[in-house]
Amino acid sequence: MSHSDIQPYLDTYNQLLGAVEGLSQEQLSWKEAPASWSVTEVLTHLADHSLVISFRIRDILAGTTVRLPAFNQDAWVSGQKANDGAAADNLTIFHQLLRYNSLLFERLNDEDWQKTGINAKGDTVSITNIIQGFTKHVNNHLSQIDRIKRSYASANQPEVSSS
């Protein structure tokens, strides 16, 4: 994997910024249903996921042979009362983890990129797979943010009287 190959990974921050630009606090914390995530909760999850993949990458590079950890995303989001947090803080953490990982990536050689570990499902994954999977994961959540914004707009349209 080369520096240009990690560009989609690095671009995820700006994509997230664009997705939430101009949203009010009400829009960021609005939930379509109690079990649904708000935009802030999605951003919290992505910061959490970035922490987890950062650990997984370093565990692979260290040659650890135990299964890479999974995490219960819903429990993490609810347990930390994510919707009471600030979306901007989550974006800052997400951005800093991207930067921190990018510094590591610059030090890796081709052999390092192909090092593997066993994920929680029992599949063998390389560092390259993890980065590509993370980028795809963020893109899925960008679509989720768009759906939340559309649902908010639909739920908050003024009613038209039929007189």
Instruction: Convert the pLDDT of each residue in 91-120 to its tens digit.
Output: 999 999 999 999 999 999 999 999 999 999
Angle between helix 39-61 and 127-155 (nearest 10): 180
Burial environment of residue 75 by CB neighbours within 10 A (0 to 12, 13 to 18, 19 or more): exposed
Q: Name which of 153, 12, 26 is nearest 87 in CA terms.
A: 26
What average pLDDT score do residues 71-84 get? 96
So what's the pLDDT on residue 55?
96
pLDDT-derived band at 161, boundaries 50, 70, 90: low
Q: Is residue 3 predicted with pLDDT exceeding 60?
A: no
Closest CA to 26 of 134, 116, 153: 153
Q: Of 118, 109, 113, 107, whose CA–CA distance to 128 is shortest?
A: 113
What is the C-alpha to C-alpha distance for residues 66 and 59, in angstroms, rounded to an integer?
9
Asked if the model's pLDDT at residue 130 lies above 70, the reply is: yes
pLDDT of residue 162: 62
Half-sphere exposure of 81 (CA within 13 A, CB side): 2
Look at residues 100, 96, 83, 99 and name the one whose alpha carbon lies nearest to residue 43: 83
Q: Picking from 56-70, 125-139, 147-161, which range would have the lowest pLDDT averaged per residue?
A: 147-161
Tokens of 105: 């990536």
pLDDT band at 65 (very low <50, low <70, confident <90, very high): confident
Instruction: Give me the percent of the chain exceeding a pLDDT of 90.
Output: 90
What's the sign of the alpha-carbon dihedral 104, 108, 113, 119?
negative
pTM (predicted TM-score) = 0.92
